[in-house]
Amino acid sequence: MSGLGVSAPRLLLRKLHQVMAGHGDAEQRLNEIVRLIAGNMIAEVCSCYLMRAGDVLELFATHGLKKDAVHQTRLRLGEGLVGDIAAQARPLNLSDAQSHPQFAYRPETGEEEYHSLLGTPVLRGGRVIGVLVVQNRTQRSYTEEEVEALQTVAMVVAELVSSEQMVASTEFSDTAGNATLPHRIAGSVLAEGLATGYALLHEPRIEVIRALAEDRALELQRLSKAVEALQSSVDALLTATNTMFQDESREIFEAYKMFAHDKGWLKKLEDAVKTGLTAEAAIKRVQDDTRARMKEITDPYLRERLSELDDLANRLYLHLDGHEMIDRRNLDEDTIVVAHAMGAAELLDYDRRHLKAVILAEGTRSSHVAIVARALGVPVVGQCEEIVEAVEQGDFILVDGEHGQVFLRPGEDVQEAFFQNVGQRAKRQAKFAALRDIPNVSKDGVKLSLNVNAGLLIDVDHFHTTGADGIGLFRTELQFMVRSQMPKVDEQTALYSKVLDSLDGAPVIFRTLDVGGDKVLPYLKTRAEENPALGWRAIRIGLDRPALLRSQLRALVQAAAGRQLSLMFPMVAEVSEFIEAKAILNKEIERASQRKGGAPSKVNVGTMIEVPSIVWQLEHLLKEVDFVSVGSNDLMQFFFAVDRGNPKISDRYDSLSPSLLKLLRKIADDCNANGIPLSICGDIAGRPLEALALLGLGYRNFSMSAASLGPVKEMVLSAEIAKLQKFVQGLCDVRDHSVRDQLRAFARDHSIVV
Ligand code: PEP
Ligand code: MG
């Protein structure tokens, strides 16, 4: 059997064009389309199934199967080969369909005569809205061109099904209506808060509204203009790359440049337009092809290159005229950004005035995007797996960052309940605000220090509004992440001065640059690492590239001239690293003391405790440092060998596990015995129940996100520490997975608010 010739797509598309422009209702046109496809592909059967409400695929049109089966044959998503194509959202090419384990025989169709089958999903906005199938009597394998041709036709079918005129037709209404149904998606809270707004997709999605071109020459022109714009934007990216770490960053941009100018890729796009597709449909066509190739390649390097090509197709689409480029710095009011995953730097890119919330398909509470979101006060619900597929650009959404759920296109009753929640939350916030000026003293008179974590200037305001004792962790890298170039020493000095000025003598601990891992600087493109969390990051970069660390220390020392400076180093794994870093600092202090501004009046140098190995060198470390601060996010990550950014394992180990409590107890005991001030600034410091356990272990200084301060303070004011200490000591030695229940029961019995 010869199948589809090379010139056939053009012919087929021209005929489809006539059908689309012609008369007849939706069903008649669909019948005509399946007849044309069967004829062109020399197939005995061509059928079109469409998705109805409730994830049921219904046979809507067929050429070749028994006509009685139309509107009778229905398959659930995942059922039979058609259901499988829809569930997997990918084509299936089988020479003997009936021997496939998924084959579901439907006698009313009379399909037992047909052996080979080629099916492809009909996609709209990334969502499967139907399946298109051709079948032949003989056992044959369809060629790559035929698969591509059917996918192209599927685009036209998608257009027909979704066009407004069709949606109005009764037959298709509930199919297309799926996209507008209300939908609740459960996830988990990454940053607290409630918000309402309109969806904006973070990753551009190629939407083919019109697949068939009206005017081929015009489409070619649109494509070539977009290609030119893409090429110059990629060239600009390349020249804008900072000279520092040039090798690493250039590599990625060079690859983009190479592809953007690649003749093969450009020709494929042009050819697709020449067959009669719009520029959008052509880009989608070529992208689908890249994706199909990607699935077959196992070599990680080649896969990476292909994924760059995939991204480039998205960018090209955005350059087509008629598409508005999303200007992240100028959002529409009440924007809710929806993404698969997002880095902290990308979040910082968005216009904060109008960004109301973020919804992620992935993400964990201790990932940096969540930390930055909490700093900004932007609610985030993560691990909403289906969100990207379910949402449409501009959908109205309610984000419930208290219970970890989002409501897409909510009905009135849901909206009403949600707004009641908003009111209750405001009341709670008012209650916390009323605690602001009450001293941080436990019920039995123990004085505690409650601080906020910061990194952006907005956090400095939080320090004032919450009434915190100080800033226990200033993540300096956030300032580096919001810029497109490495800030110069003077710029850094000005910023640190501003922080010190506005704190007016209250304590602030600056942490030196903690980049690498998932904290990416746009101008510091490091080579991809297999295990970035265990890789070249934080103090390791600082010691390997002392110029970078030195310039930051110089800025900090200059900013604190004549006043007190407290700073600490991140990710210290052994004492020698601390000593080496401190030596660089001492040189800077010495240098400043000989210059006009002078040195700080006092410098306190400490380290984060984030890598378990340093806990076994505490006896040496505590002789060198002025203070230490536990970074429990990373400490837990390395202690349990559990990637802090991986939602699959984020609940596997509990932060109230006896083994972790024992580790935290050792740190507290050693520091208290040596008279070295100790604080804790990881996420657990901001959770009332965890903070209660920490109080029992001897921690007295906590630093947390601004939103956590009220709830933790409420707990502290209601706790009696003397009784608690004995109880928590006992919990360290049990063999349970977690002591959460025991601790909660203790809190309840002792009227501690957690
Ligand atoms: C930590 O690891 O607990 C910490 C406070 O640092 P970061 O979250 O910035 O890695
Ligand atoms: Mg850390």
Q: Give me the DSSP letters along 566-594.
A: EEEESS--SHHHHHHHHHHHHHHHHHHHT
Residues 522-546 pLDDT 10s: 677 677 788 888 999 999 999 998 9
Please state the pTM of the whole predicted model. 0.65
Closest CA to 524 of 574, 483, 585, 467: 483
Q: pLDDT tier at 370 (50, 70, 90 boundaries)?
A: confident
Q: In the prediction, which pLDDT does 170 show?
A: 34
Two tokens, residue 191: 């940053």
Cβ proximity of 421 and 194 under 8 Å: yes
Q: Output the six-digit token pair for 673.
A: 């015995």
How many whole angstroms from 127 Cα to the centroid of ligand 2? 38
Q: Which CATH class is domain 183-419?
A: alpha beta
pLDDT tens-digit profile of 154-206?
Answer: 988 888 887 644 433 333 433 333 445 678 899 999 999 999 999 999 877 77
Atom of ligand 1 minimally distant from the CA of 632:
3
State in Å: Cα 681 to ligand 2 middle: 9
* DSSP letter (8 states) at residue 597: S
Q: Assign 661 a pLDDT band (cuts: 50, 70, 90).
A: very high
Average pLDDT over residues 110-114: 89
In this prediction, residue 209 carries a pLDDT of: 79
Judged against a pLDDT cut of 60, whether residue 54 lies above it is answered with yes
CB 664 within 8 A of CB 642: no
Q: Is residue 681 flagged as an active site residue?
A: yes
Catalytic residue among 115, 319, 368, 462: 368
**Mutate-to-test residue for ligand 1 from 471, 480, 514, 539, highest number of ligand atoms within 8 A of CB:** 514
* pLDDT band at residue 447 using 50, 70 and 90 as cut-offs: very high
Q: What is the mean pLDDT of residues 310-324?
A: 81
User: Per DSSP, which regions of 202-346 are E strands?
Assistant: 335-339
Cβ–ligand 1 contact at 610 (below 6 Å): yes
For 225, residues 6+ apart whose C-beta sits below 8 A from its C-beta are 319, 320, 321
Pairing of β 45-52 and β 127-136: antiparallel
Range scoring the smallest mean pLDDT among 133-142, 365-374, 548-557, 644-653:
365-374
So what's the pLDDT on residue 524?
Answer: 75
Phi and psi at residue 525, in whole multiples of 5°? -80, 110
How far apart (Å, rounded) are the C-alpha atoms in residues 552 and 541? 13
For residues 588 and 550, give the distance between their C-alpha atoms in angstroms, rounded to a whole number: 7
Ligand 1 atom 3 nearest Cα: 631
Cα of 261 to ligand 1 centre, how many Å? 42
Give the number of the ligand closest to the Cα of residue 631: 1
Residue type, 320: L
Closest atom of ligand 1 to 570 CA is: 6
Q: Do residues 375 and 456 lie in contact, with contact meaning Cβ atoms separated by under 8 Å? A: yes
Identify the residue whose C-alpha is closest to ligand 1 atom 1.
631
pLDDT at 158: 85
For residue 565, what are the CA distances in angstroms to 426, 554, 584, 604?
Answer: 37, 12, 15, 6
Of all protein residues, the one whose alpha carbon is nearest to atom 4 of ligand 1 is: 631
Q: How far apart are CA 513 and CA 539, in angstroms?
A: 8
Q: What pLDDT was estimated at residue 240? A: 55
Whether 517 lines ligand 1, by a CB cut-off of 6 Å, is no
**Residue 407 backbone phi and psi in degrees, to 5:** -120, 115
Q: Are 71 and 77 spatial neighbours (Cβ–Cβ below 8 Å)? A: no
Residue 346: the pLDDT is 76
What pLDDT, in 10s, does the model give residues 393-417?
Answer: 889 999 999 889 999 988 888 898 8
Q: How far is CA 293 from the centre of its chain?
A: 25
634 CA: nearest ligand 1 atom: 2
The partner residues of 606 in beta bridges, in order of sequence, read: 568, 627
Amino acid residing at 529 = E
Of the CA atoms within 13 Å of residue 347, those in its CB half-sphere come to 34
Q: In this predicted structure, which of 431-435, 482-486, 690-694 has the lowest mean pLDDT?
A: 482-486
- CB of 704 shorter than 6 A to ligand 1: no
User: Is 371's C-beta closer than 6 angstroms to any atom of ligand 1?
Assistant: yes
Higher per-residue confidence, 386 vs 594: 594
Q: Nearest ligand to the C-alpha of residue 630? A: 1
What pLDDT score does 237 carry?
63
The domain 436-749: what is its CATH number?
3.20.20.60
Is ligand 1 within 6 A of the CB of residue 634?
yes
- The domain segmentation of the chain, as residue ranges, is 8-170, 183-419, 436-749
Give residue-wise pLDDT tens across range 716-729: 999 999 999 999 99
CA of 475 to the centre of ligand 2 (A): 10
User: Pocket of ligand 1, candidates 190, 364, 369, 371: which has the most ligand atoms within 8 Å of its Cβ, to mutate?
Assistant: 371
Q: Which atom of ligand 1 is nearest to the CA of 453?
A: 5
Mean pLDDT of 694-705: 97
Ligand 1 atom with the smallest distance to the CA of 682 is 3
Q: Which helix (H) or strand (E) holds 472?
A: strand 471-475
Sequence-distant (6+) residues with CB within 8 A of 433 are 710
Decide: 315 and 253 in contact? Cβ < 8 Å.
no
Q: Is 50 exceeded by the pLDDT of residue 559?
A: yes
Q: 233-242 pLDDT, tens per residue?
A: 777 766 654 4
Task: Report the C-alpha gap between 727 and 730 in whole angstroms.
Answer: 5
24 Cβ neighbours under 8 A, 6+ residues apart: 32
Find the 366 Cα to ligand 2 centroid distance in Å.
9
pLDDT at 242: 43
Assign 398 to helix, strand or coil. strand
Compute and round to an integer the Cα radius of gyration of the chain: 30
Taking the centre of ligand 2 as the mean of its atom positions, its distance from the CA of residue 251, in whole angstroms, is: 28
Report the nearest-CA residue for atom 9 of ligand 1: 475
DSSP three-state, residue 342: coil
Q: What is the pLDDT of residues 207-250, one digit of tens each?
A: 787 888 889 999 999 999 999 998 887 777 666 544 333 443 45
Residue 645 binned pLDDT confidence (cut-offs 50, 70, 90)? confident
CA of 630 to the centre of ligand 1 (A): 9
Does the active-site annotation cover 63? no
In angstroms, the CA 380 to CA 360 distance is: 7
Catalytic residue among 46, 48, 384, 681: 681
H or E stretch covering 214: none
Question: Would the pLDDT of 439 be above 90?
Answer: yes
Taking the centre of ligand 1 as the mean of its atom positions, its distance from the CA of residue 432, in whole angstroms, is: 25
Helix axes 216-240, 279-296, angle to 10 degrees: 60
User: What per-residue confidence (pLDDT) applies to 246?
Assistant: 40
Contact 567, 512 (CB under 8 A): yes
Which CATH superfamily is 8-170 part of? GAF domain (3.30.450.40)
Ligand 1 neighbourhood includes 632 CB (under 6 angstroms) = yes
Give the closest ligand to the alpha carbon of residue 374: 1
pLDDT higher at 470 or 211: 470
Long-range contacts of 527-531, Cβ-Cβ distance < 8 Å, separation of 24 or more: 527/248, 527/251, 528/304
Q: Assess whether the C-beta atom of 682 lies below 6 angstroms from ligand 1.
A: yes
Cα(405)–Cα(403) distance, integer angstroms: 6
More confident residue, 322 or 611: 611
- Compute, in angstroms, the gap from residue 515 CA to the centroid of ligand 2: 10
Q: Beta partners for 62?
A: 47
Give me the pLDDT at residue 364, please.
Answer: 85
The residue whose CA is least distant from atom 10 of ligand 1 is: 634
| Dist. CA 501–CA 498, nearest whole Å | 5
* Residue 476 near residue 539 (C-beta atoms within 8 A): no
Binding site membership of 514 for ligand 1 (Cβ less than 6 Å): yes
CA-683 nearest atom, ligand 1: 3
With 0-12 / 13-18 / 19 or more C-beta atoms within 10 angstroms meaning exposed / middle / buried, residue 735 is exposed
Ligand 1 pocket residue status of 477, Cβ below 6 Å = no
Tell how strand 627-630 and strand 678-680 pair up. parallel
Q: Closest ligand to 511 CA? A: 1
Residue with the larger pLDDT of the pair 625 and 465? 625
Strands of the 380-382 sheet, one edge to the other = 183-186, 405-408, 396-401, 193-201, 335-339, 355-360, 380-382, 188-191
pLDDT score at 148: 83
Q: Which runs of E-coded beta strand occur in 616-700?
A: 627-630, 678-680
Residue nearest to atom 6 of ligand 1 (CA): 631
Q: Which residue has the tokens 């009909």?
A: 122
Residue 581 C-alpha to ligand 2 middle, in angstroms?
A: 17
